[in-house]
């Protein structure tokens, strides 16, 4: 039977992506994969990540704040000063056209023309990514958060891709309801979503490298953008599979910790 998976923030860790796809037994033809955004920035496997995701027949891919930085580069050719981890993303694509490019040349000002990024990849970031996704079970998937007392339709990109208030509210709600039956605590949401899946705020902040749940909000971003792991979760059963620690997979790279 076909399954539906949700995948946390990848941040260019293609080796981790390959591990969770293999370990979960993911079927590229029949299973559905919902990726929560932030494919770019951190490790130098961004190009390979996109190539891997493009193989998935039933793919839903969301836009993260770091993907917006890359989209801005594709649109303007400008490497924004706030683009943390962007050097590794540019290096990933620079290797396509100049095999000898190293990280130092990126840091000292090396740039690649946006048109040298393959068209299929440009369209992936500019056309295929969406701000949120609602499945048939009224589960919501969004990169960061949203104003839960308002309809999600029409909420600004800045809220959906950057805001962390929803997760903090869920944690506060869960903390205030200690002692109540498991699963009985839920945040009130205008659109009545049964569950919400988010990325953006890594669980390693709370010293956890496994998915966290607070009220009716699930957070499977387990720190692949830093020194944690990449997580892939079965949406229905909540079983999950994880990569090795990304710092072990990319021992010779600084990642975002070097930004």
The CATH number assigned to the domain holding 231 equals 3.60.21.10
Comparing 142 with 254, the larger pLDDT belongs to 142
Contact 10, 49 (CB under 8 A): yes
- The answer to the question of residue 258 being in a domain is no
Pairing of strands 139-142, 231-234: unpaired
Average pLDDT of 145-164?
97
pLDDT at 36 (0 to 100): 99
Q: Is residue 133, in this structure, part of any structural domain at all?
A: yes
Domain that holds residue 236: 4-247
pLDDT at 128 over 80: yes
Give the mean pLDDT of 128-134: 98
* Separation CA 174–CA 196 (nearest Å): 15
Of 182 and 155, the one with more pLDDT: 155
Q: Report the domain count for the chain.
A: 1
Specify the higher pLDDT residue, 105 or 225.
Answer: 225
pLDDT at residue number 259: 58
User: Do the domain assignments include residue 31?
Assistant: yes
- pLDDT mean across residues, the chain: 90
In a domain, 115, yes or no: yes
The answer to whether residue 254 sits within a structural domain is: no
Q: Is residue 256 part of a domain?
A: no
pLDDT for 91 equals: 82
Task: Supply the pLDDT for residue 249.
Answer: 98
Judge whether 59 and 28 are in contact, CB under 8 Å.
no
* pLDDT for position 237: 98
Distances (CA, A) of 120 to 103, 111, 142: 25, 20, 23
Residue 259, in any domain of the structure:
no
Is residue 186 one of the residues assigned to a domain? Answer: yes
pLDDT band at 116 (very low <50, low <70, confident <90, very high): confident
| pLDDT > 80? residue 98 | no
So what's the pLDDT on residue 146?
A: 98
Confidence category of residue 107, pLDDT binned at 50, 70, 90: very low
**pTM score, whole prediction:** 0.93
The region, left, alpha or beta by phi > 0 then psi within -120 to 50, assigned to residue 9 is beta
Q: If 0-12 CB within 10 Å is exposed, 13-18 middle and 19+ buried, where does residue 71 land?
A: middle
CB-based contact 139:194 (threshold 8 Å): yes
Confidence class for position 124, pLDDT limits 50, 70, 90: very high
Note the pLDDT of residue 82. Answer: 67
């Amino acid at each position: 039977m076909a399954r539906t998976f949700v995948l946390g923030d990848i941040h260019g860790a293609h080796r981790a992506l390959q591990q969770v796809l293999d370990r979960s037994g993911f079927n590229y033809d029949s299973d559905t994969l919902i990726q929560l955004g932030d494919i770019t920035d951190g490790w130098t496997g961004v190009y390979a990540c996109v190539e891997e995701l493009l193989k998935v027949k039933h793919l839903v891919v969301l836009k993260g704040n770091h993907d917006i930085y890359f989209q801005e580069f594709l649109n303007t050719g400008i490497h924004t000063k706030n683009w943390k981890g962007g050097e590794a993303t540019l290096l990933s694509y620079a290797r396509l056209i100049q095999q000898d490019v190293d990280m130092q040349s990126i840091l000292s000002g090396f740039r690649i023309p946006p048109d040298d990024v393959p068209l299929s990849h440009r369209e992936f970031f500019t056309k295929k990514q969406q701000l949120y996704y609602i499945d048939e079970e009224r589960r919501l998937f969004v990169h960061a958060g949203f104003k839960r007392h308002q309809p999600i339709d029409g909420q600004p990109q800045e809220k959906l891709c950057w805001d962390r208030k929803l997760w903090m509210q869920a944690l506060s709600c869960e903390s205030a309801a200690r002692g109540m039956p498991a699963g009985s605590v839920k945040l009130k949401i205008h659109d009545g979503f049964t569950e919400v899946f988010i990325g953006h705020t890594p669980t390693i902040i709370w010293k956890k490298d496994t998915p966290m749940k607070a009220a009716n909000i699930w957070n499977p971003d387990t720190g692949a953008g830093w020194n944690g792991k990449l997580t892939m979760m079965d949406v229905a059963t909540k079983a999950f599979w994880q990569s090795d620690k990304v710092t072990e997979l990319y021992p010779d790279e600084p990642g975002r910790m070097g930004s």
